[in-house]
Every structure is written in structure tokens, then in C-alpha cells.
A and B are shown apart, each in its own frame.
Chain A
């Protein structure tokens, strides 16, 4: 079993004209792993181990660094996702707009306008009670019927506790 402990004899084969390397055979995965550690420690860099199935722990025994494959995959996934989105936007919203059931020509699957970390209502100290026990109505200045003087009067007549103008 301990094939790594006694010195392997070179097979009697004709000496090659140009030498590529030396091949060493082991009869168990454990022996291979022990030997791989020693080859690594001996400082070789152009060498590899060959096994009939993936051997766990051999990467460390050989000192193989992780592959960049996951990043390549991520790049492919992002190109695919944005490429697909770009295609739909160009074909159905720009070059030949389709009106389907009154939906926007182009829309993204994002919920409720979230995430949105800044909003005008957050400028009010009063509004912090919105998540505790406060009840509010906000009328936006961009509303077509909005008029500062008249809407301020109207707001005061609604029977609220306070009326506060908010900055954009």
C-alpha cells in the first residue's frame, strides 16, 4: 500500500529522443496525495496529477489556486441578461413600439418603485411617526390642479393636525 515510501523503479522503456517528462504511477489515492505534497514541497511548478475521479484535498496537496471560471460565468450571465433586455427595449419600445394592453412600451420588473433610499417625505421630522402611529396625506406640487395658495388653504380645511411644505 505504501507505494510512496519505497523508490519507484523507472520502467525499462527506450530512452525518448526528446524528453517531455517523467510519469510516476501509484496504486492508491492516498499514496498519490502524499507524493503530491512532496512534489509541491520540492518546488516543482510544471507538473500535474492524473486521477480517474476528482480527488478532494488534492488541490491543496498540489497547491493549485482557485480558477477564475466563476467570474467568467458571471460575465457571461450579465452579458446575457443585459443583452436580452437591450434587445427587448430596442425591438419593442424604440424601433417598432408595440402597444400591448395599454402597458408601457418598456418596463422593468421592479416592485413598487423600491428600492428608493431618498424621498421628499423623509425631510419631515414629523413624518418619522409614519411607521409608528402617524397618518398623513401628501399632495404633490407637480399635480395639474396644484396651486400653492389655494391648495394650502384647502389643506388647512381638511381637519389635519398640521400642514407642512416639503422640499423636493
Chain B
């Protein structure tokens, strides 16, 4: 009942691969998923991870306080590289979110049933990634006490924001993305929160889950509206998978800087976003399923599918890298040619080579089934992809800015210890939120999985 000895990664089209292993019934499935939340203490590894990640959050908070107190000068940014780690991290974290929305919305509309076991955790990852991302433009503006100037409100200066600026589109795109993702996540969680409410042993749990579950009774009229609402939200979230990172890419593509001014950016960014996001889901779920005993629900087949997604989008990204080089040559523009050569052979060339290894070479191992199904191998590859996608944003942001048209205005960018600390702190924030999610919220969408259990198990 508990072991996962059965392999569900077979490709035999005559048999339907089971989504859930271990022959679970409705009750045993509920018990297993709720146990993660209800057990008196989480596993020891959870405490260790939480200690590390919350320490990093403390580092993040103190460094942001230092940044606000002293000023942007504590970062490595200056002329000509005015967009340093903050923008790199922003693009990186927004990208991470995209796989969650793809899994929860697009795979839902396409009726890919395998998404049901992993969509909750992928959506949670999306929300936490957007929180990390949203922080960076906010602290990047320098004088954070004027943050409200971004909002279109009637003011004594009689000016309005410029709606033809990609940076304004960005604020609206990310704001919309966060709102829709949060609503989608919460709506999907209401039935499971009600399950936790009904199993609550303490008054505190009863009240907290009770309020969050808004009185859900599993009435057929509830389910009817819930399913329509979920479908509509999925339809509303689907364009966001493509639009949000397209808008982020406009921040670059709309400028005239060599290496940025390129029509390939929107699809290239979207593919890269889903690539990095799928890898991040694997990075999180491989340890999480081990730690919380969820191997029956997050099965090898789920992970294999995610790895195939990583391979597909990774190959699109590889194609984009090659086309970028081709276009730089084919354009005949001396600046574009120089920008491309400078990326690979300039002072940051070693980062470009590392990026090629991580993003172009590493995911190609997923052509082999062993690599797609062995936990350790896929985890290492997914971490490499995350490193590579961060480096990609570094290469795009910094290399183009550091050497543009006029050699007399070139410069060299180096991050300071504050830059590195805030980057590490953002990972800490992300992990802390994810660990809290695993401990206090239903990590698997129980009601949805119940719908997919074989009938004889009911």
C-alpha cells in the first residue's frame, strides 16, 4: 500500500499508466496527504532546511534595510551598467513562475490529467516566485518612499504614468499575474482546506482552516460553480503564460541596445521561462516527495513528464541562442556582430560558456530515459538549468549594457557583497515560503486526485 515499487513510466499505449500508485482509496489518500500537515512534528530535514532558509530571509531583510538606509551605491550598479543583479533576479524569478501557470492552466484546459498531482505545489511555487520577483523592481527604484508614484493616481504634479512605456506594462503584467495566480491557487484549495477543517483536532486549526474554507460543504451546487469558476480562471490565466514574459522581454527588446533590440525576444523569453520553471518544479518536488512520503502521488511518471517539458523548452532555448548568433551575423550590423562576439569572447565570456553548458548541453541528457527517471540525475540537471537560466539573464542584462556603441562609454560591472547577499536572500525567502506551504497547506490537490482514482478504489 505504501511502497512505490511499481514503475508507471512505461510507454505501452494499450495500458493507461496509473496516475496514483499504491492502490489508494479515498480515505487512505486523504490520510496520507493530510498527514503531512497533521503530524505533530515535520521531519528533521524540514527543520534544517527551514533554519537555513529563514536565516537567509533575515540576511535579506537586513540587507534591504541597509540598501534603503545608505542608497543604491551599496550595489555594483553605475554608469553604464544601471541594471545589475536586481533586474537579473527579477527576470529570473518571474520566469520561474511560468511553469506553474502552464501546469495549472494550460494542461488543465488540454485535459492532461497527470497535472492534478503536482499542480498545487507548482502553483504555490509560482506565487512565491512572483513575490520574490516583485520585490526587486521595488527596491531597484532607489527611493522606495516614492514607490507610489508608479500608481496612476491624481496628484499635485498633474502628471500621469506613461502607458507607452514597457516598464509600465511590466508593472501591470506582473500585478495581473500575481492576482490571477493567487485567486486560482486559493480557489483550487478551498475543498482541501475544508477537508483539513473537518479533520482538525485543535480549536486553532478548526478556526483557521474553517475561515479559509469559507464554509465549503462539498454541496453539488458548490461543485458546479467551483468547476465553472475554475475553468474560467484557467482560461483567464492561459494567456498570461505567454503574455507576462513577453512583456518582460519588451523591457529589453523595445530599447535600441545591440543584443536587446531583437524580435526573437518574446518567444525566446517565454520558452526560457517555462524551461527554468519546469526545472524548478523538479528541484523542489524531488526532495519534497521524499521528505513527506508523497511518492504515491508525485510518481516517477510525473517527474518524467516534467523532464520532457524541460527538454522541449530547453531545445527551444538552444534554438534561440543559435538564431541570435545567426541574426547577429546576417544583420550585417557591426554593433550586433560585436555584441554577439563580445558575449562569447569578451570579459564575461566564461559566464556565456557556462550558460551554454547548463542550458544547451545539460538538458539534452533528458533524451535518455535513465536520466529522466533517476531522481539524483534529474535533480542535478534541474539545478544546473536553474543556474544556467540565471546566467542567461546576467549575460543579457550586463554584457549588452557594459559595452554598447561607443567604446569611450564602456564599463565593467562587478556585483558587491550586498548584491550577492540579496540574491541568496531571495532564494531564502522562496524556500521559506515553500517550506511553510508544505507544512501548513495541502500539498496535493486531494479533491482533484480523488476524481482521477480508479473507480474500484472508491
Binding site for B on A (CB under 8 A): 28-29, 48-55, 58-59, 62, 64, 66-67, 69-70, 73, 77, 87-88, 91-92, 95-96, 98, 100, 103
Provide the residues of chain B in CB contact with A49, threshold 8 Å: 219-220
| A48 and B228 contacting across the interface, CB-CB below 8 Å | no
| A67 and B228 contacting across the interface, CB-CB below 8 Å | yes
Q: If A96-B159, A96-B160, A100-B162 touch, does A59 touch B224 (CB 8 Å cutoff)?
A: yes
List, sorted by A's number, 23 A–B pairs whose CB atoms are closer than 8 Å: A49-B219, A49-B220, A50-B217, A51-B218, A51-B220, A52-B26, A52-B195, A52-B218, A53-B223, A53-B447, A53-B450, A55-B220, A55-B223, A58-B220, A59-B220, A62-B220, A66-B228, A67-B224, A69-B228, A69-B229, A69-B232, A95-B160, A98-B164
Closest to A96 in B: B160
Distance of A25 from chain B, by nearest CB (Å): 13
Q: Does B10 contact A (CB under 8 A)?
A: no
Q: Does B41 contact A (CB under 8 A)?
A: no
Bound Cα distance from A126 to B191, whole angstroms: 67
Distance of B313 from chain A, by nearest CB (Å): 28
| A50 and B220 contacting across the interface, CB-CB below 8 Å | yes
Q: Does B226 contact A (CB under 8 A)?
A: yes
Bound Cα distance from A83 to B434, whole angstroms: 36
Provide the residues of chain A in CB contact with B223, threshold 8 Å: 51, 53-55, 58
Distance of B56 from chain A, by nearest CB (Å): 38
Bound Cα distance from A49 to B217, whole angstroms: 10
| B220 and A52 contacting across the interface, CB-CB below 8 Å | no
What are the 7 closest A-B residue pairs judged by CB atoms, nearest first?
Answer: A91-B160, A53-B450, A54-B223, A49-B220, A100-B164, A88-B163, A53-B451
Q: Does B411 contact A (CB under 8 A)?
A: no
B151-165 to A contact mask, C-beta < 8 Å, 1/0: 010000011111110
| B232 and A64 contacting across the interface, CB-CB below 8 Å | no
B194-234 to A contact mask, C-beta < 8 Å, 1/0: 01000000000000000000000111110111111100100
Closest to B233 in A: A73
Distance of A123 from chain B, by nearest CB (Å): 39
Contact count band on B: 20 to 34
Binding site for A on B (CB under 8 A): 26, 30, 152, 158-164, 191, 195, 217-221, 223-229, 232, 236, 447-448, 450-451, 458
Provide the residues of chain A in CB contact with B451, threshold 8 Å: 53-54
User: Of the candidates B26, B219, B448, which one forms a contact with A48 in the assembled complex, judged by CB atoms under 8 Å apart?
Assistant: B219
Closest to B228 in A: A69
Q: If A28-B458, A48-B221, A50-B220 touch, does A70 touch B232 (CB 8 Å cutoff)?
A: yes
Distance of B233 from chain A, by nearest CB (Å): 9
Closest to B225 in A: A67
Bound Cα distance from A53 to B152, whole angstroms: 43
Closest to A59 in B: B224
Provide the residues of chain A in CB contact with B195, threshold 8 Å: 52
Bound Cα distance from A87 to B154, whole angstroms: 12
Provide the residues of chain A in CB contact with B227, threshold 8 Å: 54
Bound Cα distance from A50 to B223, whole angstroms: 9
Distance of B10 from chain A, by nearest CB (Å): 27
Of listed B152, B159, B160, B221, residue having the most chain A CB within 10 A: B160
Bound Cα distance from A29 to B161, whole angstroms: 56
Closest to A87 in B: B152
Provide the residues of chain B in CB contact with A73, threshold 8 Å: 232, 236
Distance of B209 from chain A, by nearest CB (Å): 16
Distance of B301 from chain A, by nearest CB (Å): 21
Closest to A100 in B: B164
| B161 and A91 contacting across the interface, CB-CB below 8 Å | yes
Distance of B108 from chain A, by nearest CB (Å): 13
Bound Cα distance from A87 to B221, whole angstroms: 38
Q: If A29-B458, A64-B221 touch, does A52 touch B160 (CB 8 Å cutoff)?
A: no
Distance of A50 from chain B, by nearest CB (Å): 5
Closest to A107 in B: B164
Provide the residues of chain B in CB contact with A28, threshold 8 Å: 458
Bound Cα distance from A70 to B191, whole angstroms: 21
Provide the residues of chain B in CB contact with A103, threshold 8 Å: 164
Provide the residues of chain A in CB contact with B161, threshold 8 Å: 91
Bound Cα distance from A122 to B163, whole angstroms: 38
User: Of the candidates A52, A54, A66, A92, which one forms a contact with B162 in the assembled complex, judged by CB atoms under 8 Å apart?
Assistant: A92
| B160 and A54 contacting across the interface, CB-CB below 8 Å | no
Provide the residues of chain B in CB contact with A52, threshold 8 Å: 26, 30, 191, 195, 218, 447, 450
Provide the residues of chain A in CB contact with B162, threshold 8 Å: 92, 98, 100
Closest to B451 in A: A53
| A54 and B164 contacting across the interface, CB-CB below 8 Å | no
Of listed A49, A54, A100, residue having the most chain B CB within 10 A: A54
| A54 and B458 contacting across the interface, CB-CB below 8 Å | no
